[in-house]
Amino acid sequence: MAKGSASVGTARNRVRFLGSARSGTADAWAIRVTSVMLVPLSIAFVSVVLSLLGKDHAAVRAELGHPIPAILMLFFILATVFHMKLGMQSIIDDYVHDMHLKEWSLIANLVFSISIGLACVYAMLKLSFA
């Protein structure tokens, strides 16, 4: 009886877009995997930024266009974009209760994260190859 009514409730809530979306475990795992990656990558990022201090444009180009800092920066950017998208998504899921506002917020989060990722990757590739 209890089992039966629970499954009816879940089916109704699923129609109303309430209840589990069943992607939570993958997201929770991905935010942890990217956080582990970001431990060494953040150290690399801070080191690269420190090495740019006081340099003129030609020297900055040369440094960021060198394969090792460039690949580290690209790796850092990609891990960051995935991590920040998932982090902001959990903030939205926790605090935004209005369904439409929540959906628009999730779309805005995706657009912002992809834009940051594309802008940074494009700039890094241009610094390396242009």
Partner 1 sequence: MARVETDVSGVEKRRPLSPHLQIYRPMLTMVMSIAHRITGAALYFGTLLLAWFLIAAAIGGSTFELAANCFNSIPGRVILFGFTWALIHHFLGGIRHIIWDTGHGFEPKEREWLTQATLYGGIALTAAVWVIAYLIQ
Residues engaged in binding partner 1 (CB under 8 A): 32, 35-36, 38-39, 42, 46, 50, 53-54, 57, 60-61, 64, 77, 80-81, 84, 87-88, 91, 97, 116, 119-120, 122-124, 126-127, 130
SS3 content of the chain, % helix, strand, coil (to 5): 85, 0, 15
Smallest separation (angstroms) from partner 1 to the CB of 99? 10
Position 119, amino acid: A
Query: 3 φ, ψ to 5°?
Result: -60, -45
10's tokens: 């879940």
Contacts of residues 55-60 at CB distance under 8 Å and 24 or more positions apart, as own/partner, are: none
Say if residue 2 is exposed, middle or buried (CB neighbours under 10 Å; 0-12, 13-18, 19+). exposed
Closest approach of Cβ 84 to partner 1, in Å? 5
Q: How far is the CB of 7 from partner 1 (least distance, A)?
A: 20
Residue number with CB closer to partner 1 (11 or 33): 33
- To partner 1, the closest distance from the beta carbon of 101 in angstroms equals 13
